[in-house]
Amino acid sequence: MFDEASPIYRQIASRIKADLLSGVLAADEQIMSTNQYAAFYRINPATVARAFQQLVDEGVLYRRRGIGMFVNPAARETLLARHRERFFVDVVDPMAAEGVTIGIPIADIIRRLESLAKEDNDER
């Protein structure tokens, strides 16, 4: 499950966020405890605790004292908003700039996207 590309605690946090975005985890759902998670993946509990704390700090999880960690009801929408903004910054803005650089007017790019959207709607 884990690779050498980034710290394990970040990979844990990313996996939980992905599970939330994909619907595997739901609002107010309890997640595995630090010790359960550590035992299941055979990693240090401190690494899991660091990931969970990051998610609490980001508002993805919340802690119920003596009970465990739960998914924040607003987390999915917050994560989707962040992903949407990152999509525009990382994908759309550079695409538009490249189009302009090679002589494609923004209006043509918009028409192409609208055409793709129409095709997508027709397939549904």
CA–centroid distance for 41 within its chain: 21
pLDDT digits (tens, 9 = 90+) for 73-121: 999 999 999 999 999 999 999 999 999 999 999 999 999 999 999 887 8
Tokens of residue 81, six digits: 């908003």
Residue that the structure tokens 């985890």 belong to: 25
What's this model's pTM, rounded to 2 decimal places?
A: 0.76
Q: CA neighbours within 13 Å on the CB side: how many for 68?
A: 12
